[in-house]
Amino acid sequence: MSARGRRRAPLALLVAGGLLGGAVLTGVPAGPAVAASPCLEQPATPIRDRAPAERSLSAQRAWQTATGVGVLVAVVDSGVDTRNPHLTRAVRPGTDLVGGAGGAPGTTDVWGHGTALAGIIAARKIEGSGLVGLAKQADILPVRVFVADDAQAADAGTGPSAQRIAEGIRWAAGHGAQIINVSQSTNVDTPALRDAVRAATAAGALVVASAGNRDTAENKEDHVRYPAAYPEVLGVAAVDADLQPTTASIHGPQVDVAAPGASVLAPRPGGGDCVLGDTAPSSSYATAYASAAAALLAERFPDETPAQWKHRLEVTAARAGADVRTDETGWGVIRPDEALAFVDDGSAVGPTSPAFPEAPRATPTPAPIVVAHEADPLAPVRAQAVWWALAGAAVIAFGALAWRLVTAGAGRSARRGPG
């Protein structure tokens, strides 16, 4: 079988930044067909314009409360290139889990995917560029779990795999990450991935994962994606530049919230900026925005649990109705500023608060039961009959009294006669 044939047969894993390479996903996790980051095709120059998401997510308002300072966000992906000045001072030494690289710091990225995500989350402001991360003072922990996503990487065993994603999640949680960004997904629920998520949650980290992408020209079906579908994870779908649902994003029960995935400003490997998601919104970039928002919450509410950070983003998301959830956008488009301001007293309508899982409901006081009687059409007749009966009884009683008086008088007269 050719390399291409070997590559497509077991297709199940999808790097969320690319397109699904088949109508049906089956088999064991393997590498998907995904183009290299579009950043690599763009000039290595700064872009002065601000990212549209900075306005649509009300970043300026959110930054009045939190900027992500002191929060460690792991990017489990293709590595993070620290040569880009946006990231030079934002990245801590991480790890490279690909091919036994032996503890390399995870700062090599030939694919460009992880570098873009890191910049969306925590890019530092530099002269001449409008790019700045949503959690602009958070720190990035690079965890490299694949080199590239092409036939060559698949043959070499360095493409995406569910097993390495699981290892990356565990490593990140074990090295202090509070937020773990996983812009990858698979349709296979593997024990390794499930257990890694549980371990990370127990360690105090929130895993934020993409709901998945699809090539709508070839694949219009929705599939449940992991790790986004696990209850502990914040699953993220993409919306377009107008914050509307997009068919490029996989929909389903794994979607908890949505975030911008189009017209995304990101750093380019080596230097310069680029614009991503113009041809199709991507849940990869949406996931990075959600991870950044979670980092703001981790700074502002350090004593809360990952489930509480997740709840804040869900319950305050913009949606059609407070109790309305859809498979397209989950509980709605994230609003970081509202999530930071939210006071959880258990009364909010929508997703159940982990702080009030069984909030007692007030027992209403029973209203007094009033029995309505219909008007009695014979009431006047009955009233008359009663009066006649009373009158008759009075006449009889009077007659009896008169008789007794008469007979008593007759008796006295007889006793007064001769004798």
Q: Kindly list the catalytic residues.
A: 77, 113, 284
Q: Cα 40 from chain centroid?
A: 31
Question: Cα-flanking dihedrals φ and ψ of residue 165, to 5°?
Answer: -60, -45
Q: State the DSSP string of 2-58.
A: -HHHHHHTT--EEETTS---SSS--SS------PPPGGGGS-S----SPPHHHHHTT
The reply to whether omega before 354 is within 30° of 0 (cis) is no
Closest CA to 312 of 327, 301, 323: 301
Tell how strand 13-15 and strand 184-186 pair up.
antiparallel
Write out the H or E segment, with its range, that includes residue 222.
none
Tell how strand 72-77 and strand 179-182 pair up.
parallel
Question: Cα-flanking dihedrals φ and ψ of residue 326, to 5°?
Answer: -125, 160
Instruction: Give, to the nearest 10 degrees, the angle between helix 113-122 and helix 283-300.
Output: 40
CA–CA gap between residue 49 and residue 224 (Å, rounded): 36
Number of other residues whose CB lies within 10 A of the CB of residue 385: 11
Q: Cα 101 from chain centroid?
A: 35
CA–CA gap between residue 329 and residue 236 (Å, rounded): 8
CA–CA gap between residue 346 and residue 356 (Å, rounded): 6
Structure tokens at 299: 């700074």
Give yes or no for a contact between 151 and 43, defined as CB atoms under 8 angstroms apart: no
* Cβ neighbours for 164, distance < 8 A, ≥ 6 positions apart: 97, 98, 145, 146
